[in-house]
Structure 1
Amino acid sequence: MLKNNGGKKGKFKKRITLIMLASLMVLAGCSEKTTKEKELETKIGELQKQLEKSKKKEEKKLNEKEKPKVVKVVDPNTQEVLKTFSTKEMQSGSNHEKLNKEIENWVKSLARGTENKAGYDQRMIPDKIGKDGQIIKGKPRVILEESELLEKVMSALEDGGTVELPLYVTESGYKEDEVPHLGEVVVATFTTYFNKGVAGRNKNIELSAQAINNVIVGVNDTFSFNTTVGPSDEAHGYQKAMEAVNGKLVEGIGGGICQTSSTLFNAVDKLAVSYVEKHHHSVNVGYVPKGRDATVSYGGVDFRFQNTTGVPLLLKAYTNNGSLTVEVRTSKANQNRIKR
């Protein structure tokens, strides 16, 4: 009996052990399944995040494409934003052409100025030699290159951005160590005469002659009479005198300065200069032969020439008892190099 009971107990123990092992296996299987599910859920979550991120990127790109690009035009010296242009108006060919014309007109007014605002283009104010022999600095020539600016703005409209004004600055074409020698040789001269008894005209000729006296005209410099002399008005000491206006002689402030510009023309005309601007009077004048005059009017017609002689020049102008003389000088070293 004892033997048989022992056998039954052994079998029972084996069954219990098998049941426990089976339960453990089931539990282990459940545990393994839960871990895989978690891993899968994690991967799905990561994929969803990536998809969401990718979706946002696409939406951002789409919005950027739809959003107009902006171009800022700035002054390179001050970094001031002068104007902004947008691609919004470039959706069709006709709008593109319209915008191109709009920018072209704006560039032109920016360079040349308007009635109310000076442009970026600035004529050179030449340097002078002072009474003490020192150089009195003027201002360099400044040019805003219109076609270059237009091209830069139109190109930038594709992606937007900033465009700086293409400003080109030209200093006078001479060296400072040449200055003490520029008055050594007279290479051209011309004299005209006036009635010294006419006080107003006499004074006006004297003032305008002083304004161009000792002016340095460097190699390839462009000399402007109006820019150099400045306004011929009462504020600058000019007086009333007869002047030619629309074919008639009338009284006006500054009458007589055209004799200075005409005398200068006849002097530099003996050299190989190039004329940028020159006009004749509407009436014949008595101080130079017919067709040898050069009329000027501040804010209007001007007398301009470029020094293409190959050497720097010095202008001398002075009045003496009813005569006006303009001389063009240079150094002895340059005398044989000057083009006539």
Structure 2
Amino acid sequence: MKKLKIGVIGCGSIAQHRHLPEYKANPSVEITAVCDINEERAKEVAKEFKAKAYTNFEKLISSGEVEAVSVCTPNYLHAPISIAALNAGLHVLCEKPMATSKEEADAMIEAAQNSGKTLMIGHNQRFVESHLKAKQMIEEGAIGKVYSFRTSFGHKGPEGWSVDGKDSWFFNKDKAFIGAMGDLGVHKTDLIRHILGEEITEVGAFVETKAKTFGDVDDNAVCVLKTASGVIGTLAASWSYTGKEDNSTIIYGEKAIIRLEEDPEFSLIVQYTTGETVRYELGQIQSNEEGGQSNSHVVDQFVQSIVEDKSSPVSGEEGYKSLSVILAALESNETKKITRV
């Protein structure tokens, strides 16, 4: 069987802990090239995964050695590298947030359309078993009309996760563009859009820097979101949760409340108005902490869409809609007004 030749651009933690191991585990894939501006890191990773090392992404893209790439770089490079790869006729899996502006996102989407190649944005929360089940229940009317929601994603911060610790690009606004809101919050805007099956239309937000004062990006954000049908809820994204990671979501409905990833044993708990409680053990959500889900399913979904010639599991258009909520939150924080998405 012919294998899909993959290149990974950016050899930091997200590549080393997610993309590369998941590609390696996929029988349809051959990792042929990796790239990082840190030559020593590129060579180390290349050796581990039996690939060719590059320090220049343009050379990797034009090498003819890959058919698809993962873009695992600092946020400010997501758009230029993705666009260059798409223009060169390569499929692209880009980490989130997909871009740092509407203009960049539009250019990525246009490049994907012009090339006819797959552009996928790495929103893994869509593929978590409990989230898939909750979406199905809402679509089937099992909880009736949705009234409200609360979603949160917080942990100690990327300095314990990134290969560069406190010196990581995550804390540099020129490279990251945005802090916890872009790192964690965009996952939750994507999840809420996806799970409710409707768009977020208005945002009110407070975005602050309280814990990571050695950097110049936000580390705490709390937002109020309103959907097209008038469902309102809150979103919190934080790098200052010094205890256990919180990656939970609660959906409040007419007939039941759905509790997602709140209980360590039962990833989905449904509390009906009748007094009945149903608990589902569906495996744990992907986490940086020990015991978390090891496979994000993003890579497998990306590979499958290419091999089977299917549409992108999370298209550029979808990535942009989730990014738009984050951009609106930043605007709301600056203007101190409710912002339309």
Specify the TM-score bucket, using the shorter chain as the normaliser: under 0.3
* TM-score, L = length of structure 2: 0.21
* TM-score, L = length of structure 1: 0.21
Structure with the higher fraction of residues in helix conformation: 1
